[in-house]
Amino acid sequence: EEKEDCSTSIDSENGLELRGKRRVSFSTLEIREYDVTVGDHPWCEDGLPMSLDWKYDEKTTVLEIHPYEMGKLIKPPRLLDLHERYDRLRHKLGFTDHLLYMARLQTQLRRKKSM
């Protein structure tokens, strides 16, 4: 889907203001799946934050933009509560209780330092 937007830029050689319509359009979306790990966001107030890991699956999914945008309207993203994050980290990703405890202490320290 194309979107039009008016933009203003400055010509670097003579400093003149240039106005014009610029368009960018995309036809496909490439999705890559990343592993999940304990995050470091200091403002996760209930439990441990989760974050994307650097590792990812080499296999990608390519979607047409229009159907993807329609799907976004149907299923908005949601936040995971404390119990869902803990369940994923411990049971699905294999983190031990001790490791989760240590990570939670580090998160609390980062939160105190950022205040």
Across 87-94, average pLDDT: 86
The total domain count for the chain is: 1
In Å, what is the CA distance from 2 to each residue of 34, 49, 66, 75?
Answer: 29, 36, 10, 22
Average pLDDT, the chain: 76
Helix and strand numbers, DSSP H then E, in the chain: 3, 4
**The model's pTM:** 0.47
DSSP string, 40-53: --TT--SS--EEEE
Amino acid 54 reads W
Q: Which of 36-40, 41-45, 51-55 comes out lowest in average pLDDT? A: 41-45
Among the ranges given (1-5, 40-44, 81-85), the one the predictor scored with the smallest mean pLDDT: 1-5
- Rounded distance between C-alpha atoms, residue 102 and residue 40, angstroms: 12
Q: Which domain holds residue 66?
A: 3-114
What are φ and ψ of residue 101, in 5° steps? -65, -45
- 63 Cβ contact partners less than 8 Å away, ≥ 6 residues apart: 28, 29, 31
